[in-house]
Structure 1
């Protein structure tokens, strides 16, 4: 009885194996070899319960096995070579990358500011000289006495005689030339010097003389003579209309800080007149 039961069981098993062999289909292809450095998924058994969300969040590495091989540490870098003396070119960019940075030179010491140089004060221009004519005096002795009284208020004083004190007009004249042509040549020189108011005397005792102006006061005539003298002409002053009496005047330069009024009071002169200093020198 037991034997027949075993035979039936074996027959059923053989039949089952035959059916499985016929129905199993094509064998599944073998999985590709794992890629190096990529994590692989592993299926959990069906009977294993699915992990809860908290377990998955707390242990994320439990479901995946990282089979990435540990990175191999690179060999120690060799000591950088000394920077080349010539500038790196486009063919060697690495040389430029590893060239040591230039060491900044220490800052140059700041020079101390130069000491201020004392400057001499600018010279104050001297005030222009003032000259005066004091008088009139009746004779030379009176003029000399007045000069002594003036003392230090005057310097470079000289006495001047006016031949005809009562003259009513004064003429400035150049001496007569030897001929008309010579007089005309002198006139050309006068014009070239920038002077005017002249004419050649055509007759009389002063024929070919050159008249250079007639004045009612002596000061105007003397200024005209000074201008002619500066231009190189030796003119003379002719007074007319007087009584022939002479007067003396004291011409001098005022010594600072004296003024013309103070000099006149000290000298005892009755009048004071401004004077061109060129006539005193």
Structure 2
């Protein structure tokens, strides 16, 4: 009995709570937050018939015609970077002209034409005199590169005044000179004598000649016998000169000192050709 009474009471209470829940006022909805200025309102469009119709309409719409484009133009458009967002302008008008002046190339100064240097005319000289060809040749070697187009020149002596002697080197004593004479006789040579005084003392003279050709033939004969004579010119004998053109900035006095010549003379360069 008590159980039934409790069940009835609970049923009545549940019914009362249900009626109260259905009949109470709905709570007020919270107000939406304020929308920022300049921002469009986002609305949600539910699907269904409208969405399906919109999709069908877009599928039935004719596709735009394809337009052929230049590949180079397409490449240029694709490679063009998007414009950057404008930054806050911080212009410095005072420095703009300086930047333009720096970026612009400065024209190079035009080359100044130089007048060609006037070449100096060649200078030629004659060095000498030398007693024989060997002395002139030795002077040529000493002059070296200071002379260009160098050549040896013999100046003939006046007729009847030249003398050429053929001598053997001076011995250390009179006895050695006499021993040399014995060797000369044994070789079958004649026309000899021993010089007793002077700078050629104890030298053996093998003849004196008025022309150079005769003296040179005598020297050849003595050399064939095994001796080494030398030619000595005397009187107004022929002289040897060294002719040449001065090289570069060489001076006549410098070349004369280098060669050991007694004097130097100006010479026409045409005579060297």
Determine if the TM-score, normalized by the shorter chain, exceeds 0.5.
no
More helix by share: 2
TM-score (norm 2): 0.31
